[in-house]
Structure 1
Amino acid sequence: MFKRPALLLSILCLLILSACSGGNETSTAPDGAAENTVAAEDELIITATNYSFDQKEYHLKKGVPVKIVFKNEEGNHGILVPELELRLDGKTSSRVITPEEAGTFEMTCAIMCGSGHSSMSAKVIVE
């Protein structure tokens, strides 16, 4: 008497579970770009405190994969370098990038952090 409803309920539960745990083989970064799976040859740590970064300039090598690690020591900050398609903050604190173009790029704070936000910047130099 109760076998048929129990069987249907079990099948329904299995379908829901399989739909929720479907294997997504393509991982994406928070900005929607495909996640880079290249191994980093170098690592750069960028530290932010209220209204400043720990250095005025950061140097990278063109064509060399580097892991950028963002550390927030004081306040609520992030980093943004549009030309390198790089945005890091408290949710996404590291990423491997390979700079393909030499030049000097402006790095700014990605999160409105208060009265000193507009002056919070540094240079990323790709050589």
Structure 2
Amino acid sequence: MIRKSAILCSIIFVLLLTACGGNTSNSDSANNAAAGSNLTAEEELVITATNYSFDQPEYHLKKGVPVKIIFENESGNHGILIPEMKLRLDAKNASQVVLPEEAGTFEMTCAIMCGSGHSGMTAKIIVE
């Protein structure tokens, strides 16, 4: 009886791993859709991070204009995350061309847990 239970648990475990692996691939392809397209940047925006702050409290972009966002890390270990724009940059992936299609104000946060000031490390992306 114990042997049958062990086999059943093993089969369920393998099925769960297979399901999780397939979901990750779909997520990656969705996140890379903008990066995979042949957008040519008309503008460039450099965002610089230091310990617990970005170099500006807000950044302005134009709606419908492709922009290359470049992340520079001056001190500490940081990244940027803007979920509404499907953008995450860090030391390994330091730039990406995005096309802001929706006007509004979007919150940018640090994407890497960087210490005691991490929760206050925010800025605004304003698409006009």
Taking structure 2 as the reference length, the TM-score comes to: 0.74
* Cα distance, 1:36 vs structure 2: 3.1
SS of aligned partner of 2:32: coil
Q: Is the 8 A contact 2:31 2:86 kept in 1?
A: no
Identity %: 72
* Aligned residue type for 1:90: A
Cα offset, 1:32, TM superposition: 4.2
What's the C-alpha RMSD, in Å, of the aligned pairs?
A: 1.5
Residues 46-99 of structure 1: CA distance to partner in whole angstroms, max 9, x if unpaired? Answer: 000000000000000000000000000000000000001110001100000000
2:101 maps to 1:104 = no
Aligned equivalents of 1:88 and 1:111: distance in 2?
10
Residue aligning to 1:60: 61
Q: Quick check: which has more Rg, 1 or 2?
A: 1
TM-score (norm 1): 0.75
The 5-angstrom pairing of residues 1-127 of structure 1 reads 32-34=31-33, 35-127=36-128
- What are the ranges of 5 or more consecutive residues in structure 2 without an aligned counterpart? 1-27
Q: Are the equivalent residues in 2 in contact too, given 1:36–1:97 (CA < 8 A)? A: no
* Runs (5+) with no aligned partner, structure 1: 1-28
Closer, same or farther in 2 for the Cα pair 1:111/1:31, shift >3 Å? farther
Q: Give the aligned length.
A: 99
